Amino acid sequence: MNDVSGWIFPGQGSQRVGMGQQQLERSSAARRVFEEASEAVGMDLTRLCLEGPLERLTATENAQPAIVTCSVACLAMLEEQGLQPAAVAGHSVGEFSALVAARSLTLAAAVRAVRKRGELMAQVTEPGGMLAVMGLDAPRVQELCEAVKRDDVLVVALHNSPGQFVLSGSPAALERFQQRAIPAGASECVRLHVSQAFHSPLMGRMLEEWRAVVASIPLRMPRCPVILNTTAQAVKTLVCIRRSMVDQLVAPVLWMQCVQALVGLGITQVLEVGDSKVVSSLARRTEPSLRTATAQILS
């Protein structure tokens, strides 16, 4: 590839039964990744990814280590071919995969951390949900949020692309937004199949317990630039990484800004590393000049 390649990693929502099958069939390095990750979290991630069932795979405490494992298996296949990224970024839990790619975090530490992250997130009992909004720009989305939230929690949780945002908050506020969005010019609103308001203040109850977990995660400075979700800036210190890991629970994922930051580093192609096409599609919508590819194309 002549392009300067940034590698991007998918997050929760990309899971599906059968994920990782291609890597497991084609690469002994990928099989070793699944074995190591399974041992680290004490569950058979290979069977979970290949056989499900979907309800079990989708449970946040299972989906997070499964997605990271699948992405790192793809990473191992690419590294077998002698390929390396010029910079990396990951969407939400995909940030942990990106840190593994940058050699800042080991696979075992990453899957143990996201397993715990998922367990803590699943313990949040405050009613909440998420709503994807298409066809409105950022100022209009924010304006509508302010107009309808009243005393409820309602925030823009995912800045996915210039025309796609995901809101997170209380069910009542989401319902009021949805009623106003189409008349305001939105092309579509879709309630996500989640029972909690991820990346919002409603996740704050488990913040301190997660902060203590993050403090114990072993980290090294990355070998290449890592663009962090909460700042859309490259890592400068290990403190930056730990702060992003913690803040990400209650703060928005600035994905389109991360893509723009990669372009600012001179990245001309992004490669989605994982069994997914989601984040590369969002990147293309954000920066149409970017060449995009998925790991399957190169395997």
Catalytic residue among 27, 104, 170, 199: 199
Neighbours of 45 (CB within 10 A): 27
Nearest CA to 3 out of 83, 104, 76, 100 is that of 83
Count Cα neighbours of 257 within 13 Å in the Cβ-side half-sphere. Answer: 14
Sheet order of strands, 188-191 included: 154-161, 164-169, 129-134, 188-191
Q: What is the DSSP string of 23-78?
A: HHHH-HHHHHHHHHHHHHHTS-HHHHHHH--HHHHHSHHHHHHHHHHHHHHHHHHH
Interatomic CA distance for residues 46 and 44, integer angstroms: 5
For the question of residue 91 being annotated catalytic, the response is no
**Contacts (Cβ under 8 Å, ≥6 apart) of 239:** none
Neighbours of 139 (CB within 10 A): 8
For the question of residue 92 being annotated catalytic, the response is yes
Catalytic residue among 5, 14, 27, 92: 92
Q: Which residues are catalytic?
A: 92, 199
